[in-house]
Structure 1
Amino acid sequence: MHYVATKICRTSEIGINGNLFGGTMLSWLDEAGAAYAGYLCRDPNIVTLKMEEVLFKRPVKISHHVRIYARVYTMGKSSITLDVEARRFDFDKELEESVCSTRMVYVKIDHQGNPTPIDPRLRENMDQSISDLMQRL
């Protein structure tokens, strides 16, 4: 997976049980995923189409650093599907633990908000990269 972003959990983002609000985490995942999709598509005009099931595995507490990673699952004509994962970083152990993960679909759009094709050369390069990765696994 590719490193995309780091967020730091603040007091204002904590719920009554002392954990990060789930909605805040979803926002972080969406923002990081969209930024990565825009980078891959070489275009900032990316919108979220769908977020699949999100599995919250561990709590995030005040001052935890959360690193967000993503990788391409598939790329269509105008859409890109990413696996996105958040990991909290333990400074003492120098260890990352998965906090939650999901699969997200983004669509490249034009200035009117209509889907627009991703450059075919980018899709071909991405397809080749995915194929190479699968062969190594």
Structure 2
Amino acid sequence: MEMEKLMIKLCMTKDIGVHGNLFGGHMLAWLDEAAATWACSVCKNPNMVTAKIDEMVFERPVKNGEQVIIYGKVKKVGKSSLTVYVEARKKDFYSGEEQTVCSTIFIFVRIDNNGRSIAIDDTVREKYAYLNS
């Protein structure tokens, strides 16, 4: 399955850390927001929470004024969990070239109103069943 575009952000002065690059915490927040919102859409339910974030390796810096595009794809659908691969790329406004900045895997869990995990709808699991085989 091809990756879907989840979010576009612009690195602004307020996002810059002490070394002149996008602060890693901001990037992580952007990735979590994009992935969580998308997980809710994929699972057709607003009650998806971040359960785990895999290792994050920052491959290249993002500078003030650069555009960041966040992509994602579903890796696995469990009984109550959704595993997604998320990748951030910076895009050159002039050439359109994209370079991967960082990537990671998120696991989200569907919860009820008391915060306990509950099953993801069968239609969602059926749609992505080919990933689990």
The TM-score normalised by the length of structure 2 is: 0.94
Cα separation, 2, equivalents of 1:66 and 1:44: 25
CA-based RMSD? 1.3
Cα separation, 2, equivalents of 1:3 and 1:127: 22
In structure 2, the partner of 1:54 is: 56
Aligned residue for 2:95, secondary structure, equals coil
How many residues of Structure 1 are paired with residues of Structure 2 in the alignment? 131
In structure 2, the partner of 1:3 is: 5
Cα separation, 2, equivalents of 1:73 and 1:36: 13
Cα separation, 1, equivalents of 2:66 and 2:116: 39
Aligned to 1:102, which of 84, 101, 104? 104
Unaligned stretches of 5+ residues in structure 2: none
Unaligned stretches of 5+ residues in structure 1: none
Determine what percentage of the aligned residue pairs are the same residue: 47
Amino acid aligned to 1:78: S
Tell me the CA shift for residue 123 of structure 1. 0.3
1:53-76 superposed Cα distances (whole Å, 9 cap, x missing partner): 001011011111100000011110
In the TM superposition, what are the counterparts of 1:4-43 in structure 2 within 5 Å? 4-43=6-45
Cα separation, 2, equivalents of 1:15 and 1:62: 10
Cα separation, 1, equivalents of 2:17 and 2:26: 10
Aligned to 2:73, which of 71, 74, 77? 71
Tell me the CA shift for residue 126 of structure 1. 1.3
Aligned residue for 1:30, secondary structure, equals helix
Cα separation, 1, equivalents of 2:88 and 2:62: 10
Structure with the bigger percentage of helix: 1
1:35-59 superposed Cα distances (whole Å, 9 cap, x missing partner): 1110000011110000000010110
Aligned residue for 1:29, secondary structure, equals helix
Cα separation, 1, equivalents of 2:81 and 2:112: 13
1:67-104 superposed Cα distances (whole Å, 9 cap, x missing partner): 00000111100000000000011011111110000011
Greater than 3 Å deviation, 4+ residue runs: none
Aligned residue for 2:36, secondary structure, equals helix
